Amino acid sequence: MISVVETVKNRVPEFVIAGHPNEGKSSVLSTLAEDDSVRISPVPGETRECRSFPVIIDGDEIIRFIDTPGFQNPRRTLQWMKSYAGPDTTIIPEFIKAHRDDPAFRDDCALLSPMANAAGIIFVVDGSRPIRANDRAEMEILRLTGKPRMAVINSKQDENAWIESWQHEFRKHFNSIRVFNSCKATYSRRIELLESLKSIDQDLAGTLDTVIRAIRKDWTARREHSAEIITRLIRDIITFQKEAEIPAGRGKTAEKALRQKLLEEYQAFARNAEQRAFKRIRNLYRHNVFNCTLPEHSILQQDIFSKKTWEFLGLSRKQLIVAGAIGGAAAGAAVDLGHGGLSMGLFSAAGGIIGATGTALKARDILSGSRILGIKLDRHRLRIGPASNIQLLYILIDRALIYYRHIITWAHGRRDYENAPSPMSNTAEPGFTTGWDRSRQSICEKFFDSIRKHSGEDKDHAAEAERAFTRMISECLDKISREEDGENQNL
Ligand SMILES: Nc1nc2c(ncn2[C@@H]2O[C@H](COP(=O)(O)OP(=O)(O)O)[C@@H](O)[C@H]2O)c(=O)[nH]1
Ligand SMILES: [Mg+2]
């Protein structure tokens, strides 16, 4: 028999998830391993085979969880084990030898087999139901295996009536007990569970410390990577430019049609770029199978350029005046107005008019076709972009932060997409950027100005503005993550 020490020294630590069918074993595993490919089923007994789920960071497997079918025949299994007279260390192989051809013990054999070499066992129960005789039999079987064991109470119904009685019972059979909500657990809850796994066996502590360090490092790396994705997305949208020839000989109608076409192209570009960036963030957080669909009433269901988005996420009137003054000046919007109110580039009209008159435009005005037009370069050509109103930048930041929050709070074991709580639902909660102070706004303004200047003059300056912006976004992501962890503290 291999000891736990040897097992973990030479191999990836392996934990077997055990328990009754339909208690949430697969959900716990899915959340714990951040793997949404784990099959979770409302039908009890669907998992008939053991399946191994490795956690891989930077190409290295750091820990492995084994999903198992539930016990099929716990009381008879226990009976056999109790009457087993051989050494403790051979109880599992001997049980399997005696029962492997008996269909009545098929699942029990399948379940016990990986336990022989596992570093530990995680026993999952649904804490919203009372304890039954079978549960006691199962716990006793696990005790007889002699393996380090942890009990996890997965609260399926958000209801804690039975938790205390479970905890009481568990104290007799397990080295450690934790409450873990597989549908809501965020990053910190996962780390905490791994931390407490350390206490089930002293020899595991070192290995699990390494695992936890790797997970923490990976979490920071993901956040920084997300911040870079967001910065790049915003830069790409703000700096989008396209020129086109006005078809000769058809006068104003042709020009108007071309403006509309360019506008549509710009909007399609922005939409696709955002979708691509969001998908990358989603995959970075290992949501590979399900796309974590946003709830129907989420503000992110609205198009970037829709009136609703701009009304909801747009800056407050006061901020709009400040932004307008700066955005307008940057865009030379006063000049635009001098040219008979023709706006130069996207959104510059808003900046210009606010800058000039001190009156905030309504979202309706900004978004109506007449205000979102291309620059007329000369008699023959039109150009759209770069975007010249900074409000677009704030809208894009808000949308990305909302999406980020949606993704990091989506536990991998969660599958009831239709009941998802909505980020920024129709509550009056404003976007993140609305409350930003002057120093953050200034970082945004510097970034905005530097990316719009496409001359290569001040490369260092531009690079610094971009770094500062990315850093700020990364800090925001960190704050969001901490806040969400705080809110889930009691789960
Ligand atoms: N509401 C809620 N449902 C859960 C939770 N955990 C599991 N479920 C549901 O319970 C059912 C069984 O879950 P599963 O993980 O497949 O259980 P297993 O048979 O023990 O692997 C599925 O329909 C899950 O969606 C939970 O924490 N909350
Ligand atoms: Mg299962």
Output the DSSP codes for 389-457. Answer: -HHHHHHHHHHHHHHHHHHHTS-TT---GGGPPPTT-SSSPPPGGGG--HHHHHHHHHHHHHHH--SST
Compute the average pLDDT of residues 299-307.
83
Confidence of residue 47 (pLDDT cuts 50, 70, 90): low
Cβ proximity of 371 and 365 under 8 Å: yes
Look at residue 308 and tell me whether its pLDDT is greater than 80.
Answer: no
Kind of pairing between the strands at 375-376 and 176-179: unpaired
Residue 56 identity:
I
pTM of the model: 0.85
- pLDDT tens for 185-238 read 889 999 999 999 998 988 889 999 999 999 999 999 999 999 999 999 999 999
Compute the average pLDDT of residues 278-297.
90
Confidence (pLDDT) at 460: 86
Separation CA 19–CA 123 (nearest Å): 5
Q: Whose CA is nearest to atom 7 of ligand 1?
A: 24
Separation CA 49–CA 69 (nearest Å): 6
Count of alpha carbons within 13 angstroms of residue 442, beta-carbon side: 3
Mean of pLDDT over the chain: 80
Q: Would you say the C-alpha torsion 229, 230, 231, 236 has a positive or negative sign? A: positive
Separation CA 153–CA 302 (nearest Å): 39
Q: Whose CA is nearest to atom 12 of ligand 1?
A: 22
Distance 177 CA to ligand 2 centre (A): 20
- pLDDT tens for 104-154 read 999 999 999 999 889 999 999 988 888 888 899 999 999 999 899 999 998
Compute the average pLDDT of residues 438-451.
93
Least confident piece of the model among 246-260, 310-324, 370-384, 467-481: 310-324
Q: What does the domain layout of the chain look like in residue ranges? A: 4-182, 222-487
Least confident piece of the model among 286-295, 374-383, 418-427: 418-427
Question: From the CA of 42, which ligand is nearest?
Answer: 1
Look at residue 86 and tell me whether its pLDDT is greater than 70.
Answer: yes
Helix (H, G, I), strand (E, B) or coil at 384: strand
> Which CATH architecture does the domain made up of 4-182 adopt?
3-Layer(aba) Sandwich (3.40)
Separation CA 150–CA 120 (nearest Å): 8
Question: From the CA of 22, which ligand is nearest?
Answer: 1
Which atom of ligand 1 is least distant from the CA of 21? 19
Compute the average pLDDT of residues 408-430.
65
Which atom of ligand 1 is least distant from the CA of 42? 23
Separation CA 68–CA 286 (nearest Å): 22
Question: From the CA of 153, which ligand is nearest?
Answer: 1
Confidence of residue 336 (pLDDT cuts 50, 70, 90): very low
Look at residue 420 and tell me whether its pLDDT is greater than 80.
Answer: no
Separation CA 87–CA 60 (nearest Å): 36
Protein residues whose CB sits closer than 6 Å to any atom of ligand 1: 19, 21-27, 40-42, 47, 154, 156, 181-183, 415
Look at residue 331 and tell me whether its pLDDT is greater than 80.
Answer: no
Query: Which of 20, 40, 488 for mutating ligand 1's site (highest number of atoms within 8 Å of CB)?
Result: 40
Separation CA 344–CA 352 (nearest Å): 10
Distance 387 CA to ligand 2 centre (A): 51
Confidence of residue 380 (pLDDT cuts 50, 70, 90): confident
Confidence of residue 354 (pLDDT cuts 50, 70, 90): very low
Look at residue 355 and tell me whether its pLDDT is greater than 50.
Answer: no
Confidence (pLDDT) at 427: 43
- pLDDT tens for 166-177 read 888 888 888 888
Classify residue 369 by its DSSP letter.
Answer: G
Q: Whose CA is nearest to atom 24 of ligand 1?
A: 42
CB atoms within 10 A of CB 443: 18
Confidence (pLDDT) at 300: 87
Q: Whose CA is nearest to atom 5 of ligand 1?
A: 156
The DSSP secondary structure of 150-209, one letter per residue, reads EEEEE-TTS--TTHHHHHHHHHHH-SEEEE--TTT--HHHHHHHHHHHGGG-GGGHHHHH
